[in-house]
């Protein structure tokens, strides 16, 4: 009797890294310990802040304003309110980025208007 046996070949598979690193705000599981969560997603959180840094890097923004702005973008990424672990991660990553940015800024010397500068007392001119 003739038996036909099918020749099994592996399916060709090409591994590609086209997707790149994830730049969405890192999700937490409700009730997850912060230390574990932060250790796993810290670099993703830093990438996310760098991606959105242009939105908060204006001189008019305080750190509080920057946190509120980034918090709203994180909530949009997650499509829900942030869990406490996510809030803490956002705060810590923002604090690190803010401090790095401040270290890179040159020391600012304010210009003192001339009417506020102390001037030496005027001495009378000798008569000519």
What does the alpha-carbon distance between residue 84 and residue 94 come to, in Å, rounded to a whole number? 15
pLDDT of residue 103: 62
Q: Where are the domains of the chain?
A: 41-103
pLDDT of residue 93: 93
End-to-end CA distance of the chain: 137
Take residue 111 and report the two structure tokens written for it.
């210009």
Query: Which residues in the chain show pLDDT less than 50?
Result: none
Take residue 8 and report the two structure tokens written for it.
């099994």
40 alpha carbon, distance to own chain's centre: 17
pLDDT of residue 118: 74
pLDDT of residue 86: 92
pLDDT of residue 16: 61
- pLDDT averaged over every residue in the chain: 81
């Amino acid at each position: 009797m003739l038996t036909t046996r099918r020749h099994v070949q592996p399916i060709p598979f090409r591994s590609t890294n086209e997707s790149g690193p994830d730049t969405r705000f890192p999700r937490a599981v409700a009730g997850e310990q912060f230390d574990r969560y932060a250790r796993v997603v810290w670099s993703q959180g830093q990438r996310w802040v760098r991606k959105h840094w242009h939105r908060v890097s204006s001189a008019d923004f305080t750190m509080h304003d920057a946190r509120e702005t980034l918090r709203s973008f994180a909530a949009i990424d997650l499509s829900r309110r942030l869990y406490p672990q996510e809030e803490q991660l956002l705060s810590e990553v923002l604090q690190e980025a803010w401090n790095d940015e401040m270290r890179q800024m040159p020391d600012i010397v304010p210009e003192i208007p001339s009417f506020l500068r102390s001037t030496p007392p005027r001495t009378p001119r000798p008569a000519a």
